[in-house]
Structure 1
């Protein structure tokens, strides 16, 4: 059986290539970002605990690469812990304000046993593939800024 678009019904729908968000102002320096599915994130200049735009960029890098790594390694074993830290230096120079020295650090632990061993074995390769070609966010940033990855 197929769907109206001609894709088999048992396949997940194709991901659209277009991505978008909408940002609305709550008050001076405070905004709400909304995605097409209705999810929201408060954003501000950093005067409160809302995420700043720079933190959202770093979160985008962490989230994107985490999805890549998690989906591929969890096929072998569920992680006991899974944390990805992203840090960067904010600089202002002749090119204006920007980030440099972006570092993504993976802190992932898998259980003992064959599944955990298999997940640990592929982790470096999956992290590298995410860095080199899979993660849309970091790949986009890297066009202008190198990103280092660290497995700790």
Structure 2
């Protein structure tokens, strides 16, 4: 098992608007009240699609660059017994490769690459499906 820590911090810009910063110093503005930015739920969906998209693109791209590459995630927002969650999460790939031998090779790899990403290599969806525990604490209470 690898012990490679990942970390992101967020800072409040105003009520419902935040700035996420990663270890490399890259930032992303988001929030529930940021009309021109992603919501936290949309970021989660983007992470699901993005993680698998990277996996699939790397594998199939060794054969041919896609003419069209889109990954879309749909989910049902559920509010039950005062609790909110997403259910029925579906990731759909729409990928087209050029005609020819290289494109044929990429098309042949596509289903296997999607399955491998889902089953083994996408950290985001693997973490969600494994039901990883999340510990919430207040700074200084460790």
TM-score bracket, normalised by the shorter chain, equals 0.7 to 0.9
Aligned counterparts of 1:137 and 1:57: Cα–Cα separation in 2: 9
Cα drift, residue 94 of structure 1: 3.6
Cα RMSD after superposing both structures: 1.5
Q: Unpaired runs of 5+ in structure 2?
A: 132-142
| Structure 2 counterpart of 1:33 | 20
- Distance (Å, rounded) in 2 between the aligned partners of 1:95 and 1:62: 28
In structure 2, what is the equivalent of residue 62 of structure 1?
Answer: 49
Secondary structure of the 2:38 match is coil
CA distance in 2, matches of 1:138, 1:96: 21
Report if aligned partners of 2:17, 2:34 keep a CA contact under 8 Å in 1.
Answer: no
Structure 1 ranges of 4+ moved more than 3 A: none
Normalising by structure 1, what TM-score? 0.81
**Pairs within 5 Å for 1:2-151:** 17-94=4-81, 96-144=83-131
Work out the number of aligned pairs and report it: 130
TM-superposition CA deviations, 1:7-26 (whole Å, max 9, x none)? xxxxxxxx971111010010
Query: Could you tell me how far apart the structure 2 residues matched to 1:82 and 1:46 are?
Result: 30
Return the alpha-carbon distance in structure 2 between the equivalents of residues 46 and 97 of structure 1. 18
Aligned to 1:5: none
Larger displacement relative to structure 2 (90-99 or 124-133): 90-99
